[in-house]
């Protein structure tokens, strides 16, 4: 806002989009009944108090009072841009300035590519142009959710407008096929202005061989059926089978992407290859055939859970160890408590003969001593 020190007059700069309405407000603080007027950039009087001397009917009075003169200008064009003057008739006269800036939005962006279709691994260039804006626009690039950086150039035309061009170069992969690329225009006069196109990427085939039959081992006497799955862009136009380092068996039946061999035998062992090609290139996948005996895999023992067996053995060994510890402690506690009947007789006898007699059971002791056998 322009409000000079010591002055009572103020106003604001205005930015307006071409074709829309601008409003200029001349404000007075502590007015002493001085006259307010509004002048255009050529210093022609637009309004003198509440009277419009200028014949341009696009100017209309919005508010007039001792403290404000507010005027609207409809259908703004570039020729309306410039410095407008709020003037207060005091001694000396006071002036405040409102600059009107006209914004011109760019037209719809024009997006183009160096080539409509690009092969994987190659580089392509996209261009995006925003024409006829004021001020100059800026351009951003997005591939999906990823922001990319382009190289931008700005050209000013004779009428003060700007044309902006951004160039984006990127190397594509097969994952980019169908990816959206957008150029986004940033400008104060417009929001969400963009152009978009989808990448079209050609890539060589991806090949995979699937064993359709049998589901398990390939045994002598059985049949073998293989299917070659190939995908690419464009779709592979040729699929062929071969046996690496040898010829395929004579009775092999090949139908498009399928290979069929009946009555297998071990002479058919080897590597079988499926080759697929398109305009971009070719790729292949290998299948190694090993023919087992006709009874291979039959009567095989059931699968043993070694973890369970190991757990059981560990529990048993722990139980044995605990038992040995308990028995050892028991024997240690009762060591020396074994007495024979002969020893018992010797304890009570006065001589050897009496001890022998007592050992044979002739003693009369009332307390019987226990006997332990280990």
Angstrom distance (rounded) from CA 123 to CA 200: 13
H or E element: which one contains 131? strand 123-133
Segment 30-61, tens digit of pLDDT: 888 889 999 999 999 999 999 999 999 999 99
Unique residue bearing structure tokens 């989808």: 198
Q: Is 326 helix (H, G, I), strand (E, B) or coil?
A: helix
134 burial level (CB within 10 Å; 0-12, 13-18, 19+): buried
- What pLDDT shows up at residue 358? 52
> What distance in Å separates the CA atoms of residue 213 and residue 225, rounded to the nearest whole number?
5
The pLDDT score that the predictor gives to residue 286 is 98
CA-nearest of 257, 198, 200 to 226 is 257
Residues 54-64 have pLDDT tens digits of 999 999 999 99
pLDDT at 319: 84
* DSSP category for residue 51: B
Cα 246 to Cα 209: distance, rounded to the nearest angstrom: 19
What is the rounded CA–CA span in Å between residue 21 and residue 287? 76
pLDDT tens for the chain, 374 residues: list them. 444 444 589 999 999 999 999 999 999 988 888 899 999 999 999 999 999 999 999 999 999 998 999 999 999 999 999 999 999 988 888 999 999 999 999 999 999 999 999 999 999 999 999 999 999 999 999 999 999 999 999 999 988 999 999 999 999 999 999 999 999 999 999 998 999 999 999 999 999 999 999 999 999 999 999 999 999 999 999 999 999 989 999 999 999 999 999 999 999 999 999 999 999 999 999 999 999 998 877 654 444 456 667 777 778 888 888 888 878 777 777 655 444 444 444 455 555 455 445 545 444 444 444 444 43
What is the predicted pLDDT for the residue at 317? Answer: 85
φ, ψ of residue 18 in degrees (nearest 5): -50, 130
In angstroms, the Cα distances linking 144 to 141, 175, 176, 177 are 10, 12, 10, 12
On whether the CB atoms of residues 213 and 225 are closer than 8 A, the answer is yes
| DSSP-assigned letters across all residues of 132-190 | EEBS--EEEEEETTEEE--EEEEEE-TTS-EEEEEEEEEE--GGGTT-EEEEEEEETTE
Phi, psi of 59 (to 5 degrees): -85, 125
pLDDT of residue 334: 62
Task: Give residue 6's pLDDT.
Answer: 44
Report yes or no on whether pTM surpasses 0.75. no
């Amino acid at each position: 806002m322009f409000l000079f020190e010591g002055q009572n007059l103020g106003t604001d700069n205005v930015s307006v989009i071409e074709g829309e309405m601008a409003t200029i407000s001349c404000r007075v603080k502590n007015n002493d009944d001085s006259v307010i007027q509004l002048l255009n950039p050529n210093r022609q009087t637009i309004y003198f108090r509440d009277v419009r001397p200028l014949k341009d009917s696009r100017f209309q009075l919005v508010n007039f009072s001792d403290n404000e003169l507010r005027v609207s200008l409809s259908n703004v064009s570039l020729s309306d841009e410039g410095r407008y003057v709020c003037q207060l008739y005091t001694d000396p006269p006071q002036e405040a300035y409102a600059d009107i800036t006209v914004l011109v939005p760019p037209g719809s962006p024009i997006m183009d590519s160096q080539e409509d279709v690009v092969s994987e691994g190659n580089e392509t260039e996209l261009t995006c142009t925003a024409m006829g804006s004021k001020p100059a626009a800026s351009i951003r690039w997005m591939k999906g959710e990823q922001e990319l950086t382009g190289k931008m150039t700005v050209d000013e035309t004779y009428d003060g407008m700007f044309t902006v061009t951004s160039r984006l170069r990127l190397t594509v992969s097969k994952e980019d096929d169908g990816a959206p690329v957008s150029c986004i225009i940033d400008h104060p006069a417009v929001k969400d202005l963009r152009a978009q196109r989808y990448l079209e990427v050609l890539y060589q085939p991806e090949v995979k061989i699937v064993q359709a039959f049998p589901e398990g081992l390939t045994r002598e006497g059985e049949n073998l059926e293989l299917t070659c799955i190939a995908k690419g862009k464009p779709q592979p136009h040729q699929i062929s089978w071969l046996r690496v380092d040898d010829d395929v068996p004579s009775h092999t039946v090949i139908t498009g992407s399928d290979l069929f061999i009946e009555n297998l035998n071990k002479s058919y062992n080897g590597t079988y290859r499926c080759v697929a090609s398109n305009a971009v290139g070719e790729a292949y996948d290998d299948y190694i055939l090993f023919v087992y005996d006709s009874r291979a895999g039959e009567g095989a023992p059931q699968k043993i859970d070694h973890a369970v067996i190991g757990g059981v053995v560990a529990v048993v060994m722990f139980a044995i160890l605990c038992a040995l510890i308990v028995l050892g402690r028991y024997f240690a506690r009762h060591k020396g408590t074994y007495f024979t009947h002969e020893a018992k007789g010797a304890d009570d006898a006065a001589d050897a003969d009496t001890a022998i007699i007592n050992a044979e059971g002739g003693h009369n002791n009332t307390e019987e001593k226990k006997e332990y056998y280990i």
